[in-house]
Amino acid sequence: MKTKYNFIIRFICVALLPVLTVGCSDFLEESSQDEVRPSSASDLQQVLLGEGYQLSYTVMSYLDMLTDDVKNNYTESSNQQEYVENGRYPFTWDSQMFEKMKQLDISGSDSWAGYYQYIKGCNVVLDMIDGVTGTAEEKGNVKGQALALRAYYYFMLANLFARPYNAPGINRERELCVPLMLQSKVSDNYPARNTMAEVYDRIEKDLLAAEPLMDKYGRGNIKDKVTQQFVYLLLCRLYLYEDRYDECIRMADIVLRNQPGLLKITNYDVRDKYGFYQMHVYHPDSPELIWCYSSNTENTSFQGVVNGSDTPAFLVSDELMSLYDYKKDAKTNKGDVRAGYFFTSYNVGNMVFNPSTGTFTQKTAMYWGCHNYNSGDASKGFRTAEAYLNRAECYVRKFMQTGDDEYRKSALSDLNRLRESRWDGVYAEVDIQDADALWTFYQEERRRELAFDDHRWFDLRRWGMPRIVHTLTLTKGQPVEYVLEKGDKRYVLPIPQEALDRNPSLTQNPQ
């Protein structure tokens, strides 16, 4: 869409053509007569909102399809078969998944181009911020946002297109990661992939530079913008992935000291006439919300629309459902209410789901995506639940390493604090003595709480890349098994061919 800042888009498209896989011709052909150079921090804030923020959709709608949280649901409906076809390539870890999803016009499937598109918007703001007018507060706020967002996008790229940071025997000084593009100026060079050490160092450097700016100038930002809490939680996540437990705990402490709240789900067990909750963890008034954006592309691309007796083409896996204290045939659903709260239940045939009593039946289909939220609400982002879990993981790991019982108690304190907020009825605290049993329980609790929040694939990678089996049925009675073996190379996604074609300096990941 044409804006008064189109000169920026044309400028950075030329600079990034070797990296990006999206065409810039539409922007390059725009008339320049109404283009205005941003001259103030307020102008650059608008540029960042338009070109740097992931506000309305995800660029990795396929991510959960890769995991063990999803199963294929065969349906004879021609309408639903279209969605099975849409999902088959990420669901089977196809080496040409990006090319095939592009051919099918799958929304939010080009992560490489999408994240670099956001990065270029951040880079323009950072390149121009010192030369525009504005108060120290205005300029510091915009600069801090751009630094934090750039760090976030590189973090996501690194965890999609490079090996896990904690992979056994990895040499991070030589291991290829993704190209670092830190300026918007035009260059004739084709950027090669930087090393893992260089990329992760840059992520941390950007976040540490953003932290004092957001702490001083960003505390009044609304929660679809970067705040100081965004920076602290992303640092917490970065240190967790790097196995830097003390630093992760320190950042979680800051997040939870500033914002300890969790949404007590059963206090808001009220649904509208369509069965959607009116309060949820990503609602603007949720005490645990840190940052949010809207994303329904998983629903529309892979699950399909339920009509009559149809069910979605892909469902919540039986393995995930079995982890919840969830009774499908109970007249009430006391205990862990997350299954009914996070997922939507659809009637199949003559079966009935009664939201007021929590009645579920054996054949009810559990559907993910919006965590049972109204379609206009955000359904992705950051929240304090992750900080509790990140800190608990570090305490469990330290307990396993040292045997110090204080770490065990601290981990259980965080886990019980989170679980109590998700419980209907009297909650009995969990008390696990054995280190291995506590580790398993922690992994299951993280999976329960963060299901379909863009964590599971990354957690599987950093927890040893276990074996996953997916069964896909394209024709009734002919299921086919696809296996991702333990440590499989496909835990690192292929760089899209279009990016390789544009940039001869890029090297493909082994497949």
Provide the pLDDT for residue 276: 59
Tell whether the model's pLDDT for residue 296 goes beyond 80.
no
Tokens of 7: 């000169």
Provide the pLDDT for residue 274: 54
Provide the pLDDT for residue 471: 97
Provide the pLDDT for residue 349: 41
105-108 LR contacts (CB < 8 Å, sep 24+): 106/61, 106/62, 106/301, 107/57, 107/61, 107/297, 107/300, 107/301, 108/57, 108/58, 108/59, 108/60, 108/61, 108/62, 108/295, 108/297, 108/301
Treating both helix axes as pointing N-terminal to C-terminal, what angle do 228-241 and 196-217 enclose, rounded to 10 degrees?
160
The band of 15, judged by pLDDT with boundaries at 50, 70 and 90, is very low
Provide the pLDDT for residue 340: 75
Tell whether the model's pLDDT for residue 335 goes beyond 50.
yes
Pick the closest to residue 362 from 316, 339, 328 (CA basis). Answer: 328
Tokens of 422: 């998700």
Treating both helix axes as pointing N-terminal to C-terminal, what angle do 245-258 and 384-402 enclose, rounded to 10 degrees?
150
Q: What is the mean pLDDT of residues 246-258?
A: 98
Pick the closest to residue 211 from 247, 158, 159 (CA basis). Answer: 247
Range name among 208-217, 273-282, 283-292 with the lowest pLDDT average = 273-282
Kindly report the CA angle at 374 between 75 and 458, in degrees rounded to 5?
70
Count CA within 13 A, CB hemisphere, residue 486: 3
Q: What are 454-484's pLDDT values in tens digits?
A: 999 999 999 999 999 999 998 888 999 999 9
Higher pLDDT, 452 or 260: 260
* Residue 37 maps to a domain: no
Pick the closest to residue 235 from 252, 214, 217 (CA basis). Answer: 252
Higher pLDDT, 303 or 404: 404
Residue 417: which residues within 8 A CB-CB, separation 6 or more?
A: 262, 388
Range name among 104-118, 294-308, 435-449 with the lowest pLDDT average = 294-308
Cβ atoms of 400 and 245 within 8 Å: the answer is: no
Higher pLDDT, 452 or 352: 452
Pick the closest to residue 411 from 425, 423, 393, 428 (CA basis). Answer: 393
Range of the domain at 339: 259-302+313-464
* Residue 414 maps to a domain: yes
Residue 139: which residues within 8 A CB-CB, separation 6 or more?
A: 41, 129, 130, 132
How many domains does the chain fold into? 1
Tokens of 63: 């991510």
* Residue 283 maps to a domain: yes
* Residue 53 maps to a domain: no
DSSP 369: S
DSSP 227: -
* Residue 382 maps to a domain: yes
Q: What is the mean pLDDT of residues 488-504?
A: 97
Alpha helices in 278-425 (DSSP H): 297-298, 318-321, 338-342, 384-402, 405-420
Tell whether the model's pLDDT for residue 8 goes beyond 90.
no
* Residue 498 maps to a domain: no
* Residue 403 maps to a domain: yes
Tell me the DSSP string of 405-444: HHHHHHHHHHHHHHHHTTEESPPPPP----HHHHHHHHHH
Q: What is the mean pLDDT of residues 366-388?
A: 72
Q: What are 166-185's pLDDT values in tens digits?
A: 999 999 999 999 999 999 88
The 3-state DSSP class for residue 365 equals strand
* Residue 397 maps to a domain: yes
What is d(CA 473, CA 342) in angstroms, rounded to the nearest whole number?
Answer: 26
Provide the pLDDT for residue 305: 56
Tell whether the model's pLDDT for residue 34 goes beyond 60.
no
